[in-house]
Amino acid sequence: MMSRHVKPAPGGLETDQFSWFARMRHEAPVYVDPRSGVVSVFGYDDTQRVLSDYASFSSERGAHNPTEEQALSASLISSDPPRHRQLRNLVTQAFTPRAVAQMEPRIAAIVAELLDQLCAHGQTPADFIEEFAVPLPVTVIAELLGVPAERRVEFRRWSDTVVSTGGAGGWQSAATAQREMASFFGQMIAQRRAEPRDDLISQLVAAEIDGQRLTSVELIGFCILLLVAGNETTTNLLGNAVLSFEEQPETWERLRAEPNLIPSAIEEVLRYLSPVQSMYRSARGEQRLGDITTHPGQFIVAWIGSANRDEARFSDAERFDIARSPNRHLAFGQGIHFCLGAPLARLEARVALEALLQRARRAQVAPDARLEWVDSTIVYGVKHLPVTIMPA
């Protein structure tokens, strides 16, 4: 059954995103937009290949001598080997499952405090996004980087603007946001250079590749990437968990009875309502994809959200099944760019859902809620989610 809470397809089509994906997988699994020349791939195998075959599909964004505003386009996520490996080596230590597990007590404390506030609303709906799903990852990443979490309203605005792909003047405001972020992190980096502390920015400032320190632009790029990649995505994972559970409200009860299913329920949310729906690459030379041959530099969109519903890969793919196994979704990507923050996102989601399910029978979405989607073809999530927390 179609949920009433499904995002419309991009481009003003009169259908929802997942019906559009199903149609494209069936009719044109590799599709070239006749106007823009952009190639879209919708199937699991093609998506997996585009994401992981870096020799054929590049992540570079073409900024060779980037300014501070273009720092993100010179960062890890926009680099190919060998530079990618060098940059990634600098941060892997901070994000291993073991390093991240040490953050659990602090995450649990943040979660408890946010839940207190959320539950204090009683029977009046509270905004699950604004009051829980946004502040949790922002506080965690801000503490990890060593920047003041009080600036989170700006962090949110910056991240929203950077991922936004719609609206008049979208690119202009993204440039402004990047300028503001560059100036903010520039100051933080200068402070840590003068006075190192026990935080990730200080570690990055001190890090060296072949005896060379990172440039200011590279440092700024790292910080912006971690802020943008780590927040919006985790916020949407939490919001999308509530949306998916509400499609099958018996999920709440089942998870309360069987909390050991929480990790697999999180994997299923990642598959079913993937927070990142698409990623980009550009073709290196002529590459065969489905029935087409790319030309050098051709832009390619890998539709992760569609791959994760590919019936050739997942049985009963359109069904939300918290016990699904195996569940080899591509929500965190594949290959060398596999999400650096996956262990952290999984941990935050588990701690959050465990605590929520201990305190609440259900976070019920207000029946009259009119959901508004984040204006982006990359991310999947709602701007606000009014819920009533029903005490256990």
Interacting residues with ligand HEM (CB under 6 A)? 51, 59, 76-77, 88, 141, 225-226, 229-230, 233-234, 237, 275-276, 279, 331-333, 337, 339-341, 344-345
Q: How far is the CB of 308 from ligand HEM (least distance, A)?
A: 11
Please identify, using beta-carbon distances, which residue of 25 and 337 lies nearer to ligand HEM.
337
Q: Which two tokens stand for residue 389?
A: 């927390």
Q: How far is the CB of 266 from ligand HEM (least distance, A)?
A: 9
Please identify, using beta-carbon distances, which residue of 188 and 229 lies nearer to ligand HEM.
229
Based on its alpha-carbon atoms, the radius of gyration of the chain, rounded to whole angstroms, reads 21
Integer Cα distance of 192 and 207 in angstroms: 13
Please identify, using beta-carbon distances, which residue of 155 and 388 lies nearer to ligand HEM.
155
Please identify, using beta-carbon distances, which residue of 200 and 360 lies nearer to ligand HEM.
200
Q: Taking the mean position of all CA atoms in its chain, how far away is CA 37?
A: 26
Report the residue closest to ligand HEM, judged by CB.
341
Q: How far is the CB of 169 from ligand HEM (least distance, A)?
A: 26
Q: How far is the CB of 280 from ligand HEM (least distance, A)?
A: 7
Beta strands of 145-188 (E only): which ranges? none
Token pair 């609303």 is at which residue? 121
Strands 278-283 and 288-289: unpaired
Q: Which two tokens stand for residue 344?
A: 């952290």
Q: How far is the CB of 143 from ligand HEM (least distance, A)?
A: 11
Integer Cα distance of 109 and 90 in angstroms: 28
The phi, psi pair for 281, rounded to 5°, reads -145, 170
Please identify, using beta-carbon distances, which residue of 95 and 125 lies nearer to ligand HEM.
95
Q: How far is the CB of 77 from ligand HEM (least distance, A)?
A: 4
Q: Are 166 and 378 within 8 A, CB to CB?
A: no
Amino acid at 291: D
Q: Are 326 and 313 within 8 A, CB to CB?
A: no
Please identify, using beta-carbon distances, which residue of 189 and 229 lies nearer to ligand HEM.
229
Cis, bond preceding 82 (omega within 30 deg of 0): yes
Largest CA distance in the chain: 59
Token pair 């001598």 is at which residue? 65
* Burial class of residue 3 (count of CB atoms within 10 Å of its CB; 0-12, 13-18, 19+): middle
Please identify, using beta-carbon distances, which residue of 202 and 233 lies nearer to ligand HEM.
233
Residues 6+ apart with CB under 8 A from 24: 31, 40, 42, 303, 306
Q: How far is the CB of 320 from ligand HEM (least distance, A)?
A: 17
Q: Which two tokens stand for residue 283?
A: 């073709």
Q: How far is the CB of 356 from ligand HEM (least distance, A)?
A: 16
Strands 39-41 and 299-303: parallel
Please identify, using beta-carbon distances, which residue of 125 and 381 lies nearer to ligand HEM.
381
Q: Which two tokens stand for residue 350?
A: 């588990």
Q: How far is the CB of 160 from ligand HEM (least distance, A)?
A: 16
Please identify, using beta-carbon distances, which residue of 126 and 379 lies nearer to ligand HEM.
379
